[in-house]
Structure 1
Amino acid sequence: MYRERGVAGSKSELGSVDRKRINDALDKQLERSSPSTSRAVAINGRDKTSQSVLMGKTPPDQRDSRSASLAKPNCSDEESETDSEDSDVSGSDGDDTSWISWFCNLRGNEFFCEVDDDYIQDDFNLCGLSSQVPYYDYALDLILDVDSSHGDMFTEEQNELIESAAEMLYGLIHARYILTSKGMAAMLDKYKNYDFGRCPRVYCAGQPCLPVGQSDIPRSSTVKIYCPKCEDIYYPRSKYQGNIDGAYFGSTFSHLFLMTYGHLKPHKASQSYVPRVFGFKLHKP
C-alpha cells in the first residue's frame, strides 16, 4: 500500500486531473458509507497502529521499518520530467523525513505550516473530525507515521482514498492548529518571509498577504489570499496553491492573526486608481 516518499519529484504535486479523480472517488465513498464502515473489511478488529497514513513524526527506527508510502496517481512524461527538475521535495533522505515535513515541502503546499505531533495526538483537538473524514484511523496513522503490517491488504483504489483522506484530515487539523499560539507563531514566520505572496494591487505596494478560506466547510471553495491593506481577497499566483481547499485555513485565521499581531496591520490604502480620458476624470452618473 505504501510507496516511498524519498524519490524527488515522485509526488511533488497531485496533478489537477489526478486530484480531481481521487476527490471524486472520495466523494463517492463519503456518499456510500460512514467513516466507521468505510475501512477494508479484512482489517476489522485491528490495533490502532494498523496502518500509516500521510502525516507526522516517529522515531527513525520506526520510520525506517515502514514498508512503503501510498501509491500515487501517474502523471504524463512531460509532467514527470518537469517535476524532477522543479520539485521542492528533498529526495534522498525521504525515509528520515516525517510525513508532515514531507507534505509541507511539496510544491504548492507552501501555505501549510508543520503541525506539532503533540497537538495531533491529543484527541480533544481532533473532536468531530472522524465523522468528516473516511478511513479516519488509517489516515491518522499515515499522518503520524505509525508502522503497519497491513499494507498489502488494500486495493489501489483504497490506497488512493486513504491518501486523499490523509490530506483532507491534515488540512482540517491545520485549520484548527493555526488558531493556537504555536500555530500563529509558525504562520508569522511564513508571513514575514512572504510565503503567502504579495497583494497584486498596485497601490498596496507589495503588501504581504495571508491565506484565507471563504468557507469553513470542506470542498466549498479554494484558498485565497487576503490583503490587510486594501482588505480584499485574490487568487494565489501559483496554480498549485490555487487548488488547495480553503477550509484548510478557514475564514477566521487571517483576521485573528492581525488582531493578535496588531503592529503588523497596515494603514488602509489611501490611494485608488482614477480612470481618465484625455486627462479628464470620467463622470459618474
Structure 2
Amino acid sequence: MTMQNATFKQQFLDKGYFTVPKVIDAAGLDILRKAADDCMNDTTDPGRVTEVDGKTVRGLHGAHLRNEALATLCRHPTLLGAAKFVLGEDVYVHQFKLNIKAAFVGDVWEWHQDMTFYHREDELPEPQFLTVAVFLDDVTEFNAPLTVIPGSHVDGFKESIKHTIDTYDKQSDWLSNTTAKLRYTVDRNVLREMVRLHGMDAPKGKAGDIVVFHANLFHASGVNISPFDRRVAFISYNSVKNLPVQTRPPRPEFLAARDYSPLTPRELGDLSPNRDCPEDGRVRAEVAS
C-alpha cells in the first residue's frame, strides 16, 4: 500500500479518519503480541494503569520506551509514511499507549478530542498531530470498537468539560487522563448536535489493520461485553514544527515525549521476537540525520 495516495488524505480531511487493512502481517503480529504480553506482565512499569478492580490492565503508556518491538512499530514504514504524508512534516511520537480492553471487564473511554489533552496538559499549540490505531486483535461490534463521529474534526477544537476526579487511591494526577472517568470530556449538548449532523461510525477490522485519525476527531469506546480481548496500540505522531510551549513542568515522559527528533522507517521484520531490551531498559530510536 503506497501512502502517496490522495484518496486517503481526502478521507482524512473530509471524515477525520481513514482505515488501511493488512498493514501488519502474521509474523509482525506475533512479535507485537509477545511484546504486549511482556509489558502487561511487568508490574513495575510506571505507565501501567488498571481498571477499577485494581488488577485488570487497562492501559500501558510509553511502553515503546522500554520495548524495542513497540519502538520499531512506531517506525513502521506505512505508519510513519501515513503520518508524514498527511501532516506534511517530519514527525516524532508524542505519546504511545497500548489500550487493553479485557474480555468482559474492559471499561469505557468517554467521548473526547485528543487535542484537549495534548493542548491543555502538554501545551501543543496546534492540532498538527494525528493518531494511528494498530489492531493487535480482531476488532468487532462486540469487543468495544473505537467509535467516532465522522466530520466532527472540521469545526476544530471544542470546549470540553473539566471534571474533578478522585483517582482510585489518590495516585498521581496524570491518572485522571487515563482512567474510565476522564478529566476532560465533550459537553453532551455539543455531542448530541454533532451526532445529529454527522452520525456515528465504529471502524472495525482484522488484527493488523490500522485506523488513522485527526487530533480533533470526537471518539470514544464502550465496555467490552465479549469474551474476546481487544488490544490496540495508539501512536500519536506530532509534527516536529508543533513542539510543546513548555511554560510549566511537563507530564511524565511516558505520557509526553521529551525526544522530538524526527523518526526514520524501520521494518518489524528486522527484529527477532525474542530480542531483549537494552540493559538500561530504554529504547533509543534511530532518527533522521
Q: TM-score range by the shorter chain?
A: under 0.3
Larger RCO of the pair (alpha carbons < 8 Å, separation 6+): 2
Determine which structure has the larger helix proportion and give its number.
1
Determine which structure has the larger strand proportion and give its number.
2
Structure with the greater alpha carbon radius of gyration: 1
